[in-house]
Amino acid sequence: MGINKREFGKGILYGYGIALKNMNCGNAISFIAKHKEIIRSLYPETELDDMLGCLYQANKVGSDDYDMIIFDHGMDYFPYLIGLTLNVELGTTGFLGLVGEENFDDCLIWQPEYPWEMTDTDKSMDQDKIDEIFEKVISELGIEAKPVHMALYYDDFPKNTSF
């Protein structure tokens, strides 16, 4: 599941997660290629092909500015792909990819559904398992991050200082 804070108005999102900073095009390509079947089931093929095409082109010419490539081509939903992919792969509902705005960066958080909407896998998640999953994601995306508890402020709230 992905969330765009604009749908919520003003407020705070709480969760445990990682900032998706300093990604590069090559690692984004690798993530998409590794999870291609899941991603193809979630998004129309043309969107995936467009995304991969832009990332391949940027990677080929040596541009490592992942953020600019994604933003320029209107593909800022990549954090959503990460969260959705994890949920499908693991049978969970709690991983949320968040597209940042001026008050915080893109991030991936663990924020399970209401207890009556949680899967058995969600209910069995403990801190060690979540940290293990985040470690795997950090490695796949080639980013430097450490899972932290986040309070993500948006719109008129003060700038986030949680990570």
The pTM for the full model equals: 0.77
Could you report the per-residue pLDDT of 41-55, keeping only the tens digit for each? 877 665 666 667 667
Torsion of CA 116, 121, 126, 128, to 10 degrees: -160
Q: What are phi and psi of 118, to 5 degrees?
A: -75, 145
Residue 73 has pLDDT above 50, yes or no: yes
Mean per-residue pLDDT, 101-120: 81
SS3 of 74-134: the string is CCCCHHHHHHHHHHHHHCCCCEEEECCECCECCEEEECCCCHHHCCHHHHHCCHHHHHHHH
Q: Residue 140 sits in which domain range?
A: 2-154
Q: Is residue 62 part of a domain?
A: yes
What is the identity of the amino acid at 132?
E
Q: What would the mean pLDDT of 121-147 be, rounded to a whole number? A: 93
Domain-located, residue 159: no
Total domains, the chain: 1
